[in-house]
Structures are given as C-alpha cells and as structure tokens.
Structure 1
Amino acid sequence: MWNYLQDLSFWDWLGLGAVLLILEVFGAGGYLLWIGVAAAGVGVLTYILPSLSWEVQFLLFAVLSVLTALYWWRRQRSVQRRSDQPGLNMRGSELIGHTFAVHDAIVSGRGKIKVGDGVWMVTGPDTPAGDQVRVIAQDGTILQVEAI
C-alpha cells in the first residue's frame, strides 16, 4: 500500500475524482462535489507536472478541497439575496385586510371562508355562515380573521 501511494499517477487522481462525482450524483448534497473537483484538479496538475511527489500531491489535494468548498460556500451565501417579490408563493399574505363571507360557520374558533373559487381554513371568533369577516393574519395555511 505504501509503495502504491508513493507512485500515484494522474489516472489515480482522475479516477478518484470520477468516483467522488458519481457518488455525489447519488445524493451527497454537495459535499463530495468539491472534493471530486479537487481530485480531478490534482490529476490535471499531475499530468502537467509528472515529477510531483506524493506528499505535494496530497497537500495540493487538501488545499484544493478546502479552497473549492470555501469558494462555493461564499458564493452560495452571496447569491441568497432579498427577493423583489417577498410575497411570492405566499398567497395567504395577499388576503390580509380583505373581507370575505364565511363559508362554513366558525365554531369553537375554526371555520372556512370562500376566497374566489377556493376555500380557506380560518380561526377567529364564532361567526355564522354568510357573515363577513376580515383577514388579519396568516399562520401557515390557516388565516386568522375578525368579525366585522
């Protein structure tokens, strides 16, 4: 084993990179991607500079693994920006302040209102069907209402 590590060729590094990238495809969540890229990078460097000792190859592999992972981590953090449409896919937040008719009576604090062609679960004071209520908040998929 010791002799094998001392005689690593670029094919060994490219093979390790390929194996790590294949394992990444099976759902490692990005952890193996950058280590695989680093291994492939060491393989390319070993092809260009075949006289690199195995110590330098392993050092390059470690440094490239850390650098590529840090690069990706910093890039991901910078990409997460505030949306210019913060309410996108939060349909219930659009309903706050609007009034609707109670579809199923609100009994024991639970009921339903009709919004367009859909029905929403609501919480609020007991209200008979047909009365008007105003949406005041959203808690997940349940709207909070107040009687008008």
Structure 2
Amino acid sequence: MWDFLLHLSFWDWLALGTVLLILEVFGAGGYLLWMGIAAAAVGVIKFLVPPLGLEWQLLLFAVLSILTAVYWWKRQRSSGKTSDQPGLNERGTELVGRTFVVHQAIVEGRGKVKVGDGVWMVTGADTPAGAQVRVIGLEGVILKVETV
C-alpha cells in the first residue's frame, strides 16, 4: 500500500477528482466539489512536474482544497444580490397599505376581511362588517388593520 502511495501518477489524482465529483452529484452539498477540483488540479500539476514527491502532492491537495472552498465561500457571502421581488415567499406583505372591506365584524380585536377570493383574519379596533380598513402590518398570517 505504501509503495502505491509513493508512486502516485497524475492518473490517480484525476481518478480521485472524478470520483469526488461523482459523489458530489449525489448530494454532498458542495463539500466534495472543491476537493474534487483540487485533486484534478494536483493531477494536472503532477503531469506537468512528474518528479513531484508524495509530500508535495498531499500538501498541494490540502492547500488547494482549502483555498477553493474558502474562495467559493467568500464569493457566495459577498454576492449579496438583492431580489427583484423582495416580498417573494413572504405571504401577505403585498397587502400592507391596501384597503379592504370588513367581511366579518371585528369584535374584541379579531375579525375577517375579504381579500380577492379569500378571507384573512385581522386584528384591530372593533369595526362593523362592511366598513373599510387599511392593512398596517402583519403578524404571521394575521393582518393588523386600522379603520379608514
């Protein structure tokens, strides 16, 4: 076994890189991607510099694995791309500021308003059915309203 490790060829590194990339496809969450790329890079370096010793190969593999992972992590953190639809997946935020008709009277702070073809629970001051209210906020899926 030790003799095999002392005589690693560039094919061995490329095969390791390929195996790691294939395993990444099965859902490793990105961890094996960078190690696979690092192994392939060591294979290319070993091809270009054939007398490269095992110690240098392993050191290159470790350093390249860490560098590629850190590079990607920093790139992901710094992207900070804002969405063109900031309220996406935040149900109800599009209703803030709009006015609706009270469907079921608000009694003791609770009632319902009709929004489109649905009915939403609301909290606010006591208001009779048929009155207009404006949505001023959101608590989970319950709209906070004020009388218009």
TM-score (ref. length: structure 2): 0.83
How far did residue 89 of structure 1 move?
5.0
Cα shift readout 1:61-83 (whole Å, capped 9, x = no counterpart): 01111110111111112211344
* Structure 2 spans left out of the alignment, 5+ residues: none
CA–CA distance in 2 between the matches of 1:108 and 1:70? Answer: 55
User: Shift of residue 84 of structure 1?
Assistant: 5.6
What is the CA distance between 1:23 and its match in structure 2?
1.7
62-71 or 80-89: bigger deviation? 80-89
Equivalent residue number for residue 57 of structure 2: 57
Q: CA deviation at 1:37?
A: 0.7
- Point out the more displaced range, 81-90 or 46-55: 81-90
* Distance across 1 between alignment mates of 2:139 and 2:100: 17
Aligned to 2:38: 38
Q: Which runs of 5+ in 1 are unaligned?
A: none
- Give distance in 1, aligned partners of 2:120 and 2:45: 61
- CA distance in structure 1 between the aligned counterparts of 2:82 and 2:25, rounded to whole angstroms: 30
**2:134 partner amino acid:** R
Mapping 1:8-47, distance limit 5 Å? 8-47=8-47
Mean CA deviation greater in 19-28 or 115-124: 115-124
Shift of the 44–93 alpha-carbon distance from structure 1 to 2, 3 Å rule, reads same
Q: How has the CA–CA distance of structure 1 residues 136 and 65 changed in structure 2, closer, same or farther, with 3 Å as cutoff?
A: same
Which stretch of structure 1 is more off in the superposition, 112-121 or 44-53?
112-121
Structure 2 counterparts to residues 1-148 of structure 1, below 5 A: 1-83=1-83, 86-88=86-88, 90=90, 92-107=92-107, 109-148=109-148
Q: What amino acid does structure 1 have at the position aligned with 2:33?
A: L
One-letter amino acid of the counterpart of residue 76, structure 1? Q
SS in structure 1 at match of 2:92: helix
Contact kept, 8 Å, 2:91 with 2:141, in 1: the verdict is no
Summarize the Cα distance change of 1:107–1:24 in structure 2 as closer, same or farther, 3 Å threshold: farther
How many residues are treated as equivalent by the alignment?
148
What fraction of aligned residue pairs are identical, expressed as a percent? 71
Compared CA separation, residues 21 and 106, structure 1 to 2 (3 A): farther
Q: Normalization by structure 1: what TM-score?
A: 0.83
How many angstroms does 1:123 deviate by? 2.7
Counterpart Cα distance in 2 of 1:89 and 1:58? 45
